[in-house]
Structure 1
Amino acid sequence: MNKVIKYILIVVTATTFSGCGPYNFTGTGKIDAKTFQVNYFQNTAELIEPGIERTFTLELQDIIQNQTNLNLVNSGGDLMYEGEITEYRITPMTATADQRAAQNRLTVKVMVRFTNKNKEEDDFEKPFSFFYDYNGNTQLVGSQLTTALDVIFERITQDVFNESLAKW
């Protein structure tokens, strides 16, 4: 009886640890890279909001550092992110009876070029965008602007992360 229990315990342990291979909760699995770099994202949009290019660059660095074990480097990274903010646009979404905007939408679009030195088939160049709707009676300044950009950049950086590393 003792032999049977030992045998079952060995089989269960072996299948448990060999079943799925490397995996983590971010969905990145095994990354064949040790370093990454995020080059400064220039703001080439027609409507310029000062400082958003720096904010986006730092937020992209932060999400990769927080969700992987990769080391951030200034040059020569195994993974490289670069691009530009190509659109910063405010558009009215709904109108009131007297033809005023009841709701506005801020849309930001970022063109991202991703290069993986170790796996060229993962390279891509594509736009990522997201929006934030706000009351038409408010000005998009101060904490309202900060909140809008936080929401937008959180979504865009997560989408870039998923496209480049998580493969979702």
Structure 2
Amino acid sequence: MKKLIYITLFSITTLLFIGCGIYGFTGGDVGNAKTIQVDFFQNQAQLIEPDLSQQFTQELQDLFTRQTNLTLTPNNGDLYFSGEITGYRITPMSATSQQTAAQNRLTISVNVRYVNNLEEKKSFEQQFSFYSDFPATSQLIGGVKEAAFKEILDRITQDIFNASVGKW
């Protein structure tokens, strides 16, 4: 009987927190913002990957529309993201006994400018970077490239989300 009462109280409390807007399980605190603008992130890296800019921009937009109640707008957003991809490099990470690379690392870096038009003190400009390792015997094409991009872009976009509206 006590267990049923505790479960009922927990359920009611949880529903009240969610319903009143006190807490959201995504961790996003958008304040009074209703709209978000994400500009296209140009690839300014020395090595250019043709579809990286479009893929990164889309991933960032999707993350915010999925985890918040913000509406995507092409201009005058309450929250505004712009920037550029500043780094795209492949480096050897570990060597074999024959002095060849056993593993390579793809690193992508992005410079982000975040403007919160409702609370200016929360605005920032920051560099975000992450990497993915892959076997040196594989070329960075097809499934290897897709897996590396997914790992890197998921991490970078989540880091941007946490830095801008996350309350961790």
Q: What TM-score does the superposition give when structure 2 sets the normalisation length?
A: 0.87
Q: Which amino acid aligns with 2:54?
A: R
Task: Give the corresponding residue for 1:25.
Answer: 25
Distance 1:152 1:36, change over 3 A: same
In structure 2, the residue corresponding to 1:113 is in which secondary structure? strand
Partner residue, 2:37: 37
Separation in 1, partners of 2:21, 2:145: 43
Indicate the residue corresponding to 1:8 in structure 2: none
8 Å CA contact 1:44, 1:87 repeated in 2: yes
Task: Give 1:30 deviation, angstroms.
Answer: 5.4
Alpha carbons 2:29, 2:167 under 8 Å: kept: no
For the aligned residues, what is the CA RMSD?
1.9
Aligned to 2:140: 140
Paired with 2:149 and 2:105, the residues of 1 have a C-alpha distance of: 12
Counterpart code for 2:145: L
1:30 to 1:161, Cα distance in 2 relative to 1, 3 A? closer
Distance 1:141 1:21, change over 3 A: closer
* Offset of residue 56 of structure 1: 0.1
Q: AA paired with 1:43? A: N
Deviations 1:33-57 (A, max 9, x none): 0000100000000111111000000
1:122-163, CA deviations, whole angstroms, 9 ceiling, x for partnerless residues? 000000111000101110011110110011000000000011
**Structure 1 equivalent of residue 50 of structure 2:** 50
CA contact (8 A) 1:94 1:102 kept: yes
Instruction: Provide the residue aligned with 1:80 in structure 2.
Output: 80
Between the aligned partners of 2:132 and 2:30, the Cα distance in structure 1 is 34
* Counterpart for residue 7 of structure 1: none
3-state SS in 1 of match to 2:165: helix
Q: Report the secondary structure of 1:37's partner residue.
A: strand
Residue 21 (structure 1) shift: 6.2
Give the % identical residues: 52
Which is higher, the Rg of structure 1 or of structure 2? 1
| Aligned ranges 1:154-165 → 2 under 5 Å | 154-165=154-165
SS in 2 for 1:166: coil
Instruction: State the partner residue of 1:123.
Output: 123
**Displacement of 1:97:** 1.4
Measure the CA separation in 2 of the matches of 1:129 and 1:32.
29
The equivalent of 1:91 in structure 2 is 91
Q: Which amino acid aligns with 2:147?
A: T
Q: Work out the CA distance in 2 between the residues paired with 1:133 and 1:30.
A: 34
Q: What is the distance in 2 between the residues matched to 1:91 and 1:55?
A: 22
Contiguous gaps of at least 5 residues in structure 2 = 1-8
Q: What is the count of residue pairs matched by the alignment?
A: 155
Tell me how far apart the structure 2 counterparts of residues 103 and 80 of structure 1 sit (CA, whole Å): 38
